[in-house]
Amino acid sequence: MKNPFKSFLVFVILIVLMFALGSCQTTHRGFNYQAHHKKSQQVQKKAIRVNKGNQLTQYRCTNRH
């Protein structure tokens, strides 16, 4: 950038963005194991219900979405 005003403006914008993003705080940190376990249990129950009485060669997967 040849214009020093533009360079300074970009520098100021970057500093402001760093402060804005750095001040964000979340109430939950890390992986939510409880939600993962709950979803896993639901999918397992659905798979058991869908495949009840079928042989393993006719196993059908459940859609996880």
Rounded average pLDDT over 15-30? 77
Rounded average pLDDT over 20-48? 82
The string of pLDDT tens digits covering residues 35-58 is: 899 998 988 888 888 878 777 777
Nearest to 12 by CA among 38, 20, 24: 20
Yes or no: say if 32 and 26 are a contact pair by the CB < 8 Å rule. Answer: no
Higher confidence at residue 13 or residue 29? 13
Domain extents for the chain?
37-65
Percent with pLDDT over 90 in the chain: 15
